[in-house]
Structures are given as structure tokens and as C-alpha cells.
Amino acid sequence: MLTLNQWRHGIVNSNLQASTRLVLHTLSYYMDSATCVCNISRSKIIESTSLSRTGVLAHLNIAEKEGWISRTKSTVGSWGGNKYTANIPEELNDEPAKVVIKKEPAQVVEPVLDPPLGSVISKRVSNHWQWGTAADLKVAEYIYGCLKRIDNRAKQPNMVIWANDVRLMRVNDERTPREICEVFKWANEDSFWQSNILSPSKLREKYTALHTKMNAEAPIASGRLRKTKGNITGVVL
């Protein structure tokens, strides 16, 4: 069964002239939403559309000829109006997609979960958490401390994001906190990388290249990473 909203939608997507669509939309405002029928005088249509009498008659004829309305003499009242019934042209009956209003899919509301177990710093972003453990936060603070020693104007970072990036290196990339700190310390003392590795995310992106270059300059001894200058014991768990 045709609904009023489907009919209006079909009019909007039709190839009818703008003035014909205007006349049809005017009829729709007076139609019963259940039956898609209205009783209205031509003078009311003229008043509502600001079109001439001749123009209204012409566009009503076009709409009827194209199959958008059917009209009969109204039996309601004595003012000589017409009864208009909304229709869909026959050629569109086989193409319901043109007149059926698409319903937006219902939005799924994600449950608000507690922060991940073991997190000491966290923030819910969209439907997931950014977070880090105590060890991740210490590594993030160590990296920031190194940057501050080189440039005292280094801006305070978002430690949730930094700790989260450290956690991803540790869990997904299987880097230990000590390895992360040692590679960053090497990069932080390198004349080129010093100005390019300024965050855990950048460190993670370039980690393999940095680690390879660091070991090329100072080969691993006894299967363990060489000790870098400076003390990171107590900072890395």
C-alpha cells in the first residue's frame, strides 16, 4: 500500500517540472496520511502555490496524465472542489526502490566497559580503550624526560596516548621495556634521528631500522643488547 511519504519521495526523484512538483507537494499537505486522499478547491491550490489559475490547471493535467494523481468531483461540501488521490505511475511500480524511503540502520550502542585490567592510565576513545600499565607509563615518562633534557621547551605530551603506543610495542611487537628505552636512547643521541624520533609512535614506526643501525654500530655482545651510556635502571621494569 502506498504511503504519503513514499509518494512525496517519488515526486522528489521524478522528472516532473518544478512547478508540477510544487502543485503535487501542495496536495500532499492536505491529504489524509492513511488514505492519500484530499478534497481541495482549485482556489486553495492557487493560493498555496502562488501560481496562476491557468498554471495550476495545466500542472494538474500534467500530473494526472503522468499517473501521479487521479481526480474526481468531490462529494464533500458544496464548494465545487475536486477529490485528489495519490498514485504512482505504472512504469515505477516495477521499480519500488525509486519510491521507497530508505531506512537508516539502527545505531548500535556500545556498552561502556571498565578500563582494562592492569591499566594505570586510560581513556575510552569511541568503542575502545587507549591505556597502559605502570611499566608502559614509566617508559613513556622516560622518553619525555630524554626529550626535555635536549629541549626544555618540549611540550607535555598526552601520556595516555604515549603509554598506549608503548604498550603496543611491548605486546604486539614483543619489545621489552628495556629494549624500547635503549633504542630510543640511541636515537636520541644520534645527530640525525634526534630530531626525527620525538614520540613512542614514531619510535614504533622506525624501530626496526633504528635497532638494525644501532647494532651495526655496536654489535651485540653475548647475545644481549649493548649497554648504552647513562642509567636507565629503575626507569624500565
Task: Please say whether the beta carbons of 143 and 200 come within 8 A.
Answer: yes
Q: What is the CA radius of gyration of the chain?
A: 36
pLDDT at 4: 83
Cα–Cα distances (Å) from 222 to 36, 174, 209, 227, 236, in that order, read 87, 20, 22, 12, 21
Domain boundaries, the chain: 4-98, 121-217
- pLDDT computed for residue 26 by the predictor: 87
The neighbour count for residue 29, using CB atoms within 10 Å, is: 11
- Specify whether the CB–CB gap between 203 and 187 falls below 8 A: yes
Residue 167, number of CB atoms within 10 A of its CB: 24
Please tell us whether the domain made up of 4-98 is placed in CATH 3.40.50.300: no
From residue 121, how far is each of 97, 131, 134, 178, 179 by CA, in Å?
50, 6, 8, 20, 22
pLDDT at res. 52: 87
pLDDT digits (tens), the chain, 237 positions: 788 888 888 888 888 888 898 899 889 888 888 889 998 888 888 888 788 889 889 999 999 999 999 988 876 654 457 889 999 887 776 544 444 444 455 554 444 456 666 677 778 776 678 888 999 999 999 999 999 999 999 899 999 999 999 999 999 999 999 999 999 999 999 999 999 999 999 999 999 999 999 998 875 433 444 444 455 544 544
